[in-house]
C-alpha cells in the first residue's frame, strides 16, 4: 500500500478541514467542466496536506476520472524526472520479478493511446532504462529533454481528452530541477484541460506559480477544539482523560 492509499484509511480522520475540502471540491467541479485548475497546498510537516488530498480523492471516488500521482523524495532531489519515472512504472504495473521484455510491453501498452509516434515511445522507454531505438535519433541532450517534456505533457493531454483527471504532486519541496521545469510547463498546460492539479509542499518552498487558474491554500494548525476531537478519534475507545488530551493538544483560550 502506498503512502497515499494508506492515508485514505478511515483510521486517519479528517477533522477541522471542511472549508479546505469544499474549496478543493469546487475546483474539481470547474476542472470537470473543462476549466483546468491548480491548487497549491502548503503547510508544515504533519499538518494534514496529504490527508486533505486523500479526502478529496475519497469524496470524488464515484466520479469517472483518471488519477495521476507523483511523489518527490528527499533521497532523489538530484535524480532527473524521478517522480515522473516512478509514476510511469506504477501506472504500467511494473512488478519486481518482471523481465525487461515484460516491462517494455507493459509500458508500451500504457503509452500507445497518448503517443504521437514511435519516437516518443522510444524516448520514454529510454527514460525508464528499457531497450529502445532512441539512440538512433541522433538528438542533442537539450533536444531530447524538450521532446521528453512534450511526450509527457501530451500523455496528460491525451488522458484529459477521454475523462477528467485528478493529478496530485506531493512534496514538491523535494523536487529535482528537471522535474521542476516540467511541472512549471504542466501548470501552464493544465489551464486548458479538464484537469485538477494539486501540488503539496512545505512553506519554505519557493515558487512563482500564479494565474487565474491557480489557487493558494495554506493550512494552519487546528484550533484547540478540533485538535482535541482529532486526538479523541485517533484514540478510539482508549478513553483518554481530558487532562491528557489537553496535554497533547492544549485548548485555545
* In the chain, domain spans: 3-221, 222-253
The neighbouring-strand residues paired with 198 are 39, 168
148 vs 5: CA distance, rounded Å = 29
Residues 144-191 pLDDT 10s: 899 999 999 999 999 999 999 999 999 999 999 999 999 999 999 999
Residue 14 has phi, psi (to 5 degrees) of -100, 120
Angle at the Cα of 24 from the Cα atoms of 23 and 25, rounded to 5 degrees: 90
104 vs 83: CA distance, rounded Å = 19
> For residue 43, what pLDDT band results from cuts at 50, 70 and 90?
very high
77 vs 174: CA distance, rounded Å = 6
Are 83 and 71 in contact, with CB atoms under 8 Å apart? yes
Residue owning grid cell 517494455: 104
Q: Is the predicted pLDDT of residue 7 greater than 70, yes or no? A: no
Domain 3-221 part of CATH 3.40.50.920:
no
C-alpha cell at position 155: 500523455
Residue with the bigger pLDDT between 188 and 249: it is 188
DSSP string, 114-164: G-SSHHHHHHHHHHTT---SGGGG---HHHHHHHHHHHHHHHHHHHHHHS-
Is the pTM higher than 0.95? The answer reads: no
Q: Is the predicted pLDDT of residue 75 greater than 70, yes or no? A: yes
Amino acid at each position: 500500500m502506498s503512502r497515499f492509499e494508506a492515508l485514505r484509511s478511515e483510521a486517519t480522520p479528517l477533522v477541522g478541514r471542511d472549508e479546505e475540502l469544499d474549496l478543493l471540491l469546487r475546483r474539481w467541479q470547474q476542472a470537470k467542466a473543462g476549466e483546468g485548475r491548480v491548487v497549491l497546498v502548503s503547510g508544515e510537516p504533519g499538518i494534514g496536506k496529504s490527508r486533505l488530498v486523500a479526502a478529496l480523492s475519497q469524496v470524488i471516488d464515484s466520479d469517472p476520472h483518471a488519477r495521476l500521482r507523483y511523489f518527490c523524495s528527499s533521497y532523489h532531489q538530484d535524480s532527473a524526472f524521478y517522480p515522473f519515472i516512478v509514476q510511469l512504472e506504477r501506472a504500467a504495473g511494473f512488478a519486481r520479478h518482471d523481465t525487461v521484455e515484460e516491462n517494455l510491453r507493459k509500458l508500451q501498452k500504457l503509452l500507445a493511446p497518448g503517443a504521437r509516434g514511435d519516437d516518443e515511445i522510444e524516448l520514454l522507454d529510454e527514460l525508464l532504462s528499457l531497450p529502445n531505438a532512441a539512440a538512433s535519433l541522433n538528438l542533442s541532450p537539450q533536444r531530447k529533454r524538450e521532446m521528453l517534456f512534450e511526450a509527457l505533457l501530451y500523455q496528460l493531454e491525451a488522458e484529459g481528452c477521454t475523462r477528467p483527471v485528478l493529478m496530485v504532486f506531493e512534496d514538491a519541496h523535494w523536487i529535482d530541477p528537471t522535474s521542476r521545469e516540467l511541472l512549471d510547463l504542466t501548470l501552464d498546460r493544465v489551464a486548458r484541460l479538464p484537469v485538477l492539479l494539486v501540488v503539496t509542499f512545505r512553506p519554505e518552498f519557493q515558487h512563482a506559480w500564479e494565474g487565474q487558474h491557480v489557487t493558494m491554500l495554506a493550512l494552519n494548525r487546528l484550533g484547540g477544539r478540533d485538535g482535541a476531537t482529532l486526538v479523541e478519534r485517533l484514540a478510539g475507545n482508549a478513553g483518554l482523560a481530558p487532562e491528557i488530551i489537553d496535554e497533547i493538544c492544549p485548548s485555545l483560550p
